[in-house]
Amino acid sequence: MDFTNKGKWISAVLVVVAGLTLPAFTTPAAPKPERRDFSIVARKYAYDPPIIKVNQGDEVHVKFASRDVTHGFFMEGYDVEALSEAGKSTILFRHPSMTGNFTPADEIIFTADKRGKFRYRCSMTCGYMHPFMLGVMIVQPNSLFGQALGLMTGILLAGFILVWPAGKITPKAPEGARS
């Protein structure tokens, strides 16, 4: 590897830095927060729908119901928990960090203020496959994708810059020839 060609190395570093930082400036503005309503039905070992998508800042309203036995709904990262008995329209709701008792409610309400992927899971043992009863809430926009794509592009371009042959190859004049 030739470390004497500083221009190539500086160019490669600048391309990687640009690939990492440009997506931060080109990521579209987040949509205006709005109310998002979902109906999540629990049955043994599954939630329907298994994936919900919201935008950061949205107010999320979840109507939670159980189809067969008593099921729970615990959203990781959002301090909400609910229980639903089969055939009942009201749920029992609480914030686990406040160590309070469950109170009757019609729906689960919270603000999706953190970006990322969050699991919701059953918090009431409902059978032998209970640990696998999971769903996912995706809070968009996810700027990590744009940054990762920019970084990968920058690294690829930097690699091309570093392996590309240097400049024009000029033939040497024969010895004794005048220039």
- Buried/exposed 21-40: b ≥16 CB within 10 Å, e otherwise: eebeeeeeeeeeeeeeebeb
**pLDDT tens digit string along 39-97?**
999 998 999 999 999 999 999 999 999 999 999 999 999 999 999 999 898 999 999 98
CB 16 within 8 A of CB 154: yes
Peptide bond into 49 cis (omega under 30): yes
Return the pLDDT at 87.
Answer: 87
**Spatial CB neighbours of 53, under 8 Å, sequence gap ≥ 6:** 137, 138, 140
CA distance linking residue 142 with residue 93, whole number of Å: 29
Q: Which fold has domain 35-140?
A: Immunoglobulin-like (2.60.40)
CA distance linking residue 93 with residue 109, whole number of Å: 10
Both tokens of 143, joined, read 């700027």
Tell me the average pLDDT across 109-134.
Answer: 92
Mean pLDDT across the chain: 83
Q: Which of 7-11, 25-29, 157-161 has the lowest mean pLDDT?
A: 25-29
Domain ranges across the chain? 6-28+144-163, 35-140
- With 0.85 as the threshold, say if the pTM is over it: no
Q: State yes or no: pLDDT of 4 exceeds 60.
A: no
Return the pLDDT at 62.
Answer: 97
| Measured CA distances, 135 to 12, 48, 86, 93, 159 (Å) | 42, 8, 19, 18, 40
For the chain, first and last CA: distance in Å? 33
> Per-residue confidence at 111, pLDDT binned at 50, 70, 90?
very high
Partners of residue 119 on adjacent β-strands? 136
CA distance linking residue 177 with residue 27, whole number of Å: 60
CA distance linking residue 122 with residue 164, whole number of Å: 56
CB 146 within 8 A of CB 26: yes
Q: State yes or no: pLDDT of 142 exceeds 60.
A: no
> Per-residue confidence at 17, pLDDT binned at 50, 70, 90?
confident
Both tokens of 110, joined, read 């919270």
Q: State yes or no: pLDDT of 3 exceeds 60.
A: no
